[in-house]
Amino acid sequence: MTENVAAVVRPEFDYDAMRDDHGDLRAEFVDAVSKAIAAEDAVWLRGLVSELHEADLGDLIEALDSDERVRLVELTGADFDFSALNEVDETVREEILEELEPAAVAEGVRELDADDAVELLQVLDEEDQEEILDKLPPSERDALERSLDYPENSAGRRMQTDFIAVPRDWTVGEAIDFMRETAELPERFYEIYVVDGVNHWQGAVSLDRLLRSHRNVPLTDLVDEDRRKVSVDDDQEEVARLFGKYNLVAAPVVDSQNRLVGVITIDDVVDVIEEEADEDLKALGGVTSDEELSDRVWTIARGRFNWLLVNLATAFLASSVLGLFEDQLQQMVALAVLAPIVASQGGNAATQTMTVAVRALATRELGAWNAVRVVMREALVGLVNGVAFALITGIAAYAWFKVPGLGVVIGLAMICNLIAGALGGILIPMALERMRADPAVASGTFVTTVTDVVGFFAFLGIATAWFGLK
């Protein structure tokens, strides 16, 4: 059977045998692997995992069943690249690591760069981490423990601790000879760093500058001393902004004494950028940032419950405004039918403004220097669209219910609510940012509460006055 299996995937685990035109994994490929796992065809599986890029191996792992995942790692032993586990959802990673023998995990961890090892281990609780760290040689254990001591989301957690640091008085030739003669260089690097005798960072030399210079050129001629560096405690989001802004591929990480302790590379930063975008998007949608596609029903339901509870409270608040006008609603039931339209239109206009505001705050495009202008502009946009939709809604409402004046009433309410929505949509995120809360997480609830309450109140209040209801 396994011969057949092999025939499907070979020659050489061709990329096209693995993925369809859309880039998705082929079901036949996943099936073939499942069958090989069931048949314990270790030889074939070892060949497979050592050919696959870690990212592809990660995708394959996610496509397998829970117990197949662990069996795959066990069957392939030393050929399995543990960095593939950093390519899968944290829930999946945690599950696999907990099922495996700590000694096996320790073996896998030893093969990783510090940043990858930290990323792998940080999903485990401290006890499980200790069990694995205990199986490592003391020097490697100490280094990892140090990295794990840095706060989550800090540069210290993300950095690689392998880097090339050379003395300031070397020439290009000396640096090149050093790299040719040193066996244990980082797996990938884009620049080397110049340090003084006690490891204080002095500057960076990019490899392309090194390569286009003659051997006798002193490094001091090439070194970039103005290069932005990162402090171990810096937040990863700050680091990502720096990379994006100055087009960096790597940045030195220094401790509080300006000693070079690591390097952050662009691949980690790309992950951060994607994570942060993910967080903002989910936060605006009312989903916690750690929800993952592989989570179980119960975990997801619980995670989403809190936000829905907050929303329920605000929905009751908005409805209590309707409750204030019970008598009027009974006298003119058209008001009950139309009120949600005013609230909904305001809510959507406010969401537009809020989305722009949250994004502009995240990218630092919106700040004290342009706040007044942007707020004014949003208010005007609210007015313009308020008037436009006042006309449309007014005509439609009159055409529907044929009540004279109803169009004017809903039109006026629409203008009020779109202006309120615009102001709420911009001022609430700005206020949250100033209070150092994350505008993406909390703005939505506040903003739609404003437009529900203002929408109902304006519409029913104006209607009560206009029609003389009581």
Exactly one of 367, 405, 437, 465 binds a second copy (CB under 8 A); which one? 367
Quick one: which of 144, 229, 212 has its CA closest to 172?
A: 212
Minimum CB distance to a second copy, residue 330 (Å): 5
Minimum CB distance to a second copy, residue 128 (Å): 26
Exactly one of 44, 170, 193, 243 binds a second copy (CB under 8 A); which one? 243
What residues are paired with 25 via a beta bridge?
A: 19
3-state secondary structure of 124: coil
If one asks whether residue 343 binds a second copy (CB under 8 A), the answer comes out as yes
Residue 465: CB atoms within 10 A of its CB come to 10
Cβ proximity to a second copy: between 142 and 177 the closer is: 177
Strands (E), 104-234: 165-167, 191-195, 201-206, 230-231
Minimum CB distance to a second copy, residue 370 (Å): 8
260-289 residues in contact with a second copy (CB under 8 A) are 266-267, 269-271, 273-274, 277-278, 280-282, 284-287
Exactly one of 66, 78, 290, 319 binds a second copy (CB under 8 A); which one? 319
User: Would you report the helix, strand and coil content of the chain in percent, each value rounded to 5?
Assistant: 65, 10, 25
The one-letter amino acid at 341: I
Cβ proximity to a second copy: between 98 and 238 the closer is: 238
368-387 residues in contact with a second copy (CB under 8 A) are 368-370, 374, 377, 380-381, 384-385
390-429 residues in contact with a second copy (CB under 8 A) are 392-393, 396, 400
Cβ proximity to a second copy: between 148 and 176 the closer is: 176
Exactly one of 134, 149, 257, 330 binds a second copy (CB under 8 A); which one? 330
According to DSSP, residue 200 is labeled: B
Cβ atoms of residues 417 and 383 within 8 Å:
no
Minimum CB distance to a second copy, residue 135 (Å): 28
Cβ proximity to a second copy: between 2 and 206 the closer is: 206
Minimum CB distance to a second copy, residue 396 (Å): 7
Binding segment for a second copy among 99-107, 139-147, 155-163, 317-325 (CB under 8 A)?
Answer: 317-325
Cβ proximity to a second copy: between 143 and 336 the closer is: 336
If one asks whether residue 251 binds a second copy (CB under 8 A), the answer comes out as no
If one asks whether residue 301 binds a second copy (CB under 8 A), the answer comes out as yes
Exactly one of 452, 457, 461, 463 binds a second copy (CB under 8 A); which one? 452
How far is residue 112's CA from residue 80's CA, in Å, rounded to a whole number? 12
186-215 residues in contact with a second copy (CB under 8 A) are 188-190, 206-208, 210-214
Q: Which residue has 């342009």 as its token pair?
A: 370
Binding segment for a second copy among 100-108, 148-156, 252-260, 321-329 (CB under 8 A)?
Answer: 321-329
How far is residue 202's CA from residue 12's CA, in Å, rounded to a whole number? 46
Strands of the sheet containing 230-231, edge to edge, are 230-231, 250-254, 260-265
If one asks whether residue 322 binds a second copy (CB under 8 A), the answer comes out as yes
CB hemisphere CA count around 350 (13 angstroms)? 34
If one asks whether residue 352 binds a second copy (CB under 8 A), the answer comes out as yes
Cβ-Cβ contacts under 8 Å for 398 (sequence gap 6 or more): 404, 406, 407
Cβ proximity to a second copy: between 42 and 408 the closer is: 408
24-63 residues in contact with a second copy (CB under 8 A) are 24-25, 27, 30, 53, 55, 62-63
If one asks whether residue 304 binds a second copy (CB under 8 A), the answer comes out as yes
Cβ atoms of residues 195 and 202 within 8 Å:
yes
In degrees and rounded to multiples of 5, residue 230 shows phi and psi of: -120, 140
If one asks whether residue 464 binds a second copy (CB under 8 A), the answer comes out as no
Cβ atoms of residues 466 and 411 within 8 Å:
no
Cβ proximity to a second copy: between 136 and 159 the closer is: 159
Quick one: which of 114, 123, 168, 170 has its CA closest to 143?
A: 114
The one-letter amino acid at 9: V
Residue 374: CB atoms within 10 A of its CB come to 18
Q: Which residue has 């029903």 as its token pair?
A: 297
